[in-house]
Structure 1
Amino acid sequence: MAGDPLSVVVTGGSNSSGIAVASAFAAAGHQVFTVGSDDARIKAAAAEAGDRVVPLVCDLSKLASVRELASKIRGSAERIDGVIHLVGGWRGAKGIEDQPDEDWDALEQSAITTLRNVSRVFYKDLEASPRGRFAMVSSTAVAAPTAGAATYAAAKAAAETWTLAVADGFRRDQAGNSGNTDEPTEQHSAAVVFVVKSLLDAAMRREHPERKFPGYTDVEELAAAAVGLFDKPAAELNGQRLLLAK
């Protein structure tokens, strides 16, 4: 990866995908701030991910808490180059009629509100970075929703829409699209959506050695794709839905 070491924030850092992504960035020589809601879990995840990984605790559903998180990171890093948002969750039902409000409330908070808060608070940091990147993980269910997964697919669709709006913000603020045509800026920040059927990790393989997991994306593949975002031109990436499902 060309350029100086990066400072990257990984939200949802306690889960297997967060550990894989943090590990990949740390192995590439970058500073990582991994964020979770539970102190013990995020510290254990950071220890597993590597020496360059700093654990931080934050309730990402609270805007004030995310602002405090950003202040801490800005005090430790020269700049913030990337946010890889891995917070989500799954809720399913039998069909349309039995989609419970509790499931919508949970997914609205975990999949949508956390992303809104993180993208708003870190937007200026990423827009100012010479290689700013924002990424989220979505689902193939958005393009082909089922009745049973209606709540989940709708929440992911909303999160995708917000992320594509972030991409439009970068586009307008850079490459001369912000109205500053006298001094246009080359596009250097990008927001993207990774699309998967489902994520797979080593624990799942151990627990179900008989399964083939067709179409699943290994968390290590997701991690490599996240690191690879910084090797590609922002103008080519910005606003893209990148399919990782096989």
Structure 2
Amino acid sequence: MTDLTGRTVLIAGATSASGLAATRALTAAGARVVATGRSAGKLAPLAALGARVDALDLADEHAVLALSRRLRHDGMPIDGLLHLVGGWRGGGGLAGQTEDDYRALEPSFSALRHLSRAFDEDLRASPAGRLAIVSSTAVARPLAGGANYAAVKAAGEAWTRAVAHGYARSAREAGAPLRAAAVIFRVQALAGLEDRLAAAYAGLWDAEAAALNDSTIELAQEGRSTP
């Protein structure tokens, strides 16, 4: 089993089934988990698992910066960031993709931008920083009815690859080995994959950063391959 004793991991958007599975897996591996989401009530089960919980709007840049300052003040710079902020809005073909649908999905990308910037220093300074997002196979095969969704996920992937480039460049300019990695997990649907995602994220610490950085890992149900 992966040993994450001494690591601090921030789960962004932790109030889903995936957040619960990740919290359970990471705490079992010895990590200190910081679980975030909008609803204090929905974070309560994560606190019961031993996570530190912080209720905030991750699409609010100032709130995210304040969180990063609080954690550093408390001696908890993060070693990992698992971005689970998401959701689905779609259907109705291209004409059915409304502006409201897009705006409902956009906070996922905004949160990723705010979090990766606010915690960039932490992740680059960590002996083994690991940032991961959950994307979708829709990026590779976008459909008209999911155009907004695929576009937001594609933006998240592009941003994550830029983060990976930043990690590599920082290490190269410092003449130091690469210690941080940014990874994209792609799924067709998360339902039923929560435990596999949690294990795959925890397992990132078992591999060298150079082998992981700027990689895309596809997750599928047992016995199935992603399309």
Shared fold per TM-score greater than 0.5: yes
Q: Which residue of 2 aligns with 1:59?
A: 57
Q: Which residue of 1 aligns with 2:218?
A: 243
Q: Which residue of 2 aligns with 1:233?
A: 208
Distance 1:64 1:193 in 2: 26
Distance 1:93 1:27 in 2: 39
- 1:221 paired with 2:199, answer no
Alignment RMSD? 1.3
Quickly say closer, same or farther: Cα 1:117–1:56, change in 2 above 3 A: same
Match of 2:81 among 70, 75, 83: 83
Q: Which residue of 1 aligns with 2:177?
A: 186
Which secondary structure does the structure 2 equivalent of 1:145 belong to? Answer: coil
Superposition pairs of residues 123-138 of structure 1, within 5 angstroms: 123-138=120-135
Q: AA paired with 1:185?
A: A
Q: AA paired with 2:184?
A: V
Q: Which residue of 1 aligns with 2:164?
A: 167
Quickly say closer, same or farther: Cα 1:62–1:34, change in 2 above 3 A: same
Which secondary structure does the structure 2 equivalent of 1:168 belong to? Answer: helix
Work out whether residues 3 and 30 of structure 2, in 8 Å CA contact, stay in contact via their aligned partners in 1: no
Q: CA deviation at 1:76?
A: 2.7
Q: Deviations over 1:56-87 (max 9, x none)?
A: 11110110000111122222334310000100
Distance 2:165 2:47 in 1: 33
Distance 1:222 1:4 in 2: 20
Query: Please, which runs of 5 or more residues in structure 2 have no aligned partner?
Result: none
TM-score normalised over the length of structure 1 = 0.86
Q: Which residue of 2 aligns with 1:120?
A: 117
Query: Please, which runs of 5 or more residues in structure 1 have no aligned partner?
Result: 202-217
Work out whether residues 89 and 107 of structure 1, in 8 Å CA contact, stay in contact via their aligned partners in 2: yes
Q: CA deviation at 1:244?
A: 0.6
Q: CA deviation at 1:2?
A: 5.2
Distance 1:220 1:46 in 2: 19
Give aligned pairs, total. Answer: 220
- 1:196 paired with 2:192, answer no
Which secondary structure does the structure 2 equivalent of 1:97 belong to? Answer: helix
Which of 1 and 2 has greater Rg? 1
